[in-house]
A and B are shown apart, each in its own frame.
Chain A
């Protein structure tokens, strides 16, 4: 490393400084990653240490109680299952339908560009705003003040719809156009092409998007909190017009209790919530790796 133009000593000193600066900053960059991972680890340990002692069969099969040690998670667990299933029933046809329309049927007109722009904006609307929408439109207008499961599921549907639409659009875009051309060449019309060629090919991609959207619906508490308000639900909802609570909302209720013992119960609830989410994400990843066949170009 000699440069005849500069005196060797100053040249080497400058080089040493630059290398040192590189070393110092790479340490900083690594530290950023490490802090992120440590934060995640601290969060998980915090929850596990607080919650594991309370996690037992009694906790999973009992209703909420004024006494921390008697408290259980059955009602919110059932409420979450109701909300997820109903949200899926509403979201899948609407979300997938919107994506099919935008990708396969719509011309690139100004109106359709408006729909796409609108979906991008909806994805950024705070969840609490969806809660206000659901409160005014579903609870007060549609159900006359009844804070029921259907109102909650419809609100969640509007909240996760952009995620499903965008993921389904990506899945449809990934289907090679040669597949469509082949079907068209056989005389198929647009809907037949979608039904027989595009949908089967795009289904795995759509499925993982739908599952991710539903796990968002499971973890979201702000809109449900506005829709259902704070209720001690001590029953398993029996029908879509029943009152309800969900896991994150029950966890929030426990965190808000003044008695310190409820903290451990809240942490146990968080463990259950994280296990549900983890298994859903696992299924999404499995579907993606199992069915995602790269079409040969």
Chain B
């Protein structure tokens, strides 16, 4: 190159090239910093959630002891004497999530076995998207469905005097339907990943499809199945609109699914809808309940992902 720099044009060209190069370098530097800033926003979100929840909860726990909060079984923050036993809200949440978990595990695992082990490829390609539509329907629609369709059926089956309009069973059943595709999709992914050779070996020994499914495929895919279940139940615990619309607003520590309960999320929403002044003790309760909810779902999500990575079988 240096030999061609005798002429004036080449000098100018070289200068222009080096200016352009510098400009490109500067542009890349600025863009890198912008992109890094974008990535930082996700970190700031987490930090923000933790700071907000903890800071407001600290104010709450200055007036109510952590022990009373976590072990009390009566929740009546709006009456006097005020009672802040969060167990009745946690109980409501867990009762609905338990019903949803049973429904989604039964339906989801059954569907996953059928799609992965029995269904021909063409049928599978039709059925899977239909089931996944269930996961895309807004939760407020499920709430409507629970209240106007499932609850009346439950009432005519179990008797109008025994089933309250707002009850845990209706919300749980419908929520189970909602999270079923989560269980079936994740479980099926885990089952499809089990190598053919394992199945072929069992078939060669004369096993039926059911035996191959339950004695070979499910044990090999167990970590994925367990993880799908944990993640789905975590989703059920954090779900708001179904429990708000269909399960009721009565804090109630019960195992009877036909009764009204109030879930943690439903309580948070209920207070937000009211005229609770900012900074009052009632206002701070939603952050304390929110913190507990955050910790519960975070723990389940971490366990779920740990199960996947820890027990994943590596096949070559």
The chain A residues found within 8 Å of chain B, CB to CB, are 18-19, 21-22, 25-26, 28-33, 35-37, 39-40, 42-43, 46-47, 50, 93-95, 97-98, 100-102, 105-106, 114-115, 118-122, 124-133, 135-137, 140, 145, 158, 161-162, 165, 189-192, 215, 218-222, 225-226, 229-230, 248, 251-252, 255-256, 263, 266-267, 270, 273-274, 277, 281
B149 contacts across to A, CB distance below 8 A: 42-43, 46
Q: Are B177 and A36 in contact (CB under 8 A)?
A: yes
Chain A binder among B60-68, B106-114, B154-162, B197-205: B106-114
5 A/B residue pairs, CB under 8 Å, sorted by A = A18-B208, A128-B240, A132-B268, A219-B137, A225-B269
Most buried by A among B28, B42, B209, B278: B42
B301 contacts across to A, CB distance below 8 A: 120-121, 124
Q: Is B48 at the interface (CB under 8 A from chain A)?
A: yes
B6 contacts across to A, CB distance below 8 A: none
B5 to chain A, nearest CB (A): 20
**B residues 87-123 touching A (CB-CB < 8 Å):** 106-111, 113-115, 118
Given the complex of chains A and B, what is the CA–CA distance between A219 and B239 in angstroms?
Answer: 13
B53 contacts across to A, CB distance below 8 A: 129, 132
Given A128-B265, A255-B245, A161:B41 Cβ within 8 A = yes
Secondary structure of the A side of the interface?
helix
Q: Is B238 at the interface (CB under 8 A from chain A)?
A: yes
Q: Are A26 and B209 in contact (CB under 8 A)?
A: yes
Q: Are B211 and A22 in contact (CB under 8 A)?
A: yes
A162 contacts across to B, CB distance below 8 A: 42
A221 contacts across to B, CB distance below 8 A: 138-140, 240-241
Given A97-B39, A101-B35, A115-B39, A128:B140 Cβ within 8 A = no
Q: Is B9 at the interface (CB under 8 A from chain A)?
A: no
Within the complex, which residue of A28, A161, A263 is in contact with B148, where a contact is CB–CB below 8 Å?
A263
Q: Is B147 at the interface (CB under 8 A from chain A)?
A: yes
Q: Are A192 and B24 in contact (CB under 8 A)?
A: yes
Q: Are A97 and B38 in contact (CB under 8 A)?
A: yes
Given the complex of chains A and B, what is the CA–CA distance between A251 and B108 in angstroms?
Answer: 29
Given the complex of chains A and B, what is the CA–CA distance between A114 and B245 in angstroms?
Answer: 37
